Chain A
Amino acid sequence: MDALVNKRIKQILKGDKDAFAEIVDLYQHRLYQVCYRMLGNRHEAEDIAQEAFVRAFINIHTFDQKRKFSTWLYRIATNLCIDRIRKKKPDYYLDAEVKGTEGLDMYSQIATSDELPEEELMKLELQDRIQYEISRLPDKYRSAIVLKYMEELSLQEISEILDLPLGTVKTRIHRGREALRKQLSRQPHI
């Protein structure tokens, strides 16, 4: 697969857009899936995954062919997702102090306001429930968990995609699992 991809990349470098269309075919589902899991919204996922491919095309000359192409693509896509998530939280909203909460700002309110009442939670289909629980993870844990369990990538590859030391990736996955454990175990007792 890598040999084929590198052959296509050489063609793209010569300006061959059809070769790029083949690259899109090869990776579109994986890239769309990671964007959907990160953003939780199909329209946004489509927009960001498309943007990731456009950036890959524009910057293809910066790709080092000795490396794995999918890692490079995933990195472009996850960076775009994280930017998008951050832009969705306006500053005034996050910095505003909440009345009567003695210094708690909106950061601490986001998670609780996202929480569904138990009767609503019970109505969710399994797939919606999975996406709901994933969406409640802080984004730095979410990206690691999505890449590990939904894209089924190795810890080493995740560390390259997120540009983080291996130890940090492990910590984020550990904390992500613990956060999910608490989310899942709390619900039935409410």
Chain B
Amino acid sequence: MNACPERIVHFMHEYLDGEISREHELELKSHLQSCEACQAHMHELSDVVAFVKGAAHIEAPNDFNHSVIARLPKEKSHEGVSK
């Protein structure tokens, strides 16, 4: 893989960001067809994205809202609080 141009990895990330140009995409695809190491790299990056996206949505605790309101300053005053 050391022989592969550095831009190939850069194209992989452009691809993952959905911002790859037609030209770069063609170069990336033709390179991946001929290079197993880069193909594996691309697969691993796609797996990373799937892995992170697999994170469950997390919800704030039930009393969160009340706790915030309880923490608000008693009297709202622009002058008093801003430094």
On A, residues with C-beta under 8 Å from B are: 15, 17, 20-21, 24-25, 28-29, 31-33, 36-37, 42, 46, 49-51, 53-54, 57-59, 61-62, 126-127, 130-131, 133-134, 145, 149-150, 155, 170, 173-174, 177-178, 180-181, 184-185
Q: List 27 A-B contacts (CB under 8 A).
A: A15-B76, A24-B64, A24-B65, A28-B60, A29-B59, A32-B58, A32-B59, A32-B60, A33-B59, A46-B60, A46-B64, A46-B67, A54-B68, A54-B71, A54-B72, A54-B73, A58-B81, A126-B54, A130-B52, A149-B55, A150-B52, A150-B55, A174-B10, A177-B45, A178-B45, A181-B44, A181-B48
Number of A-B contacts defined by CB within 8 Å: 106
Within 8 Å CB of B53, what residues of A?
Answer: 149
Expressed in whole angstroms, the Cα–Cα distance for A101 and B76 within the complex equals 55
In the A-B complex, the 9 residue pairs with the smallest Cβ-Cβ separation, listed nearest first, are A32-B60, A174-B13, A149-B52, A28-B60, A33-B58, A180-B48, A53-B68, A58-B81, A181-B44
Chain B's closest residue to A150 (CB) is: B55
Say yes or no for B22: interface residue by CB 8 A criterion: no
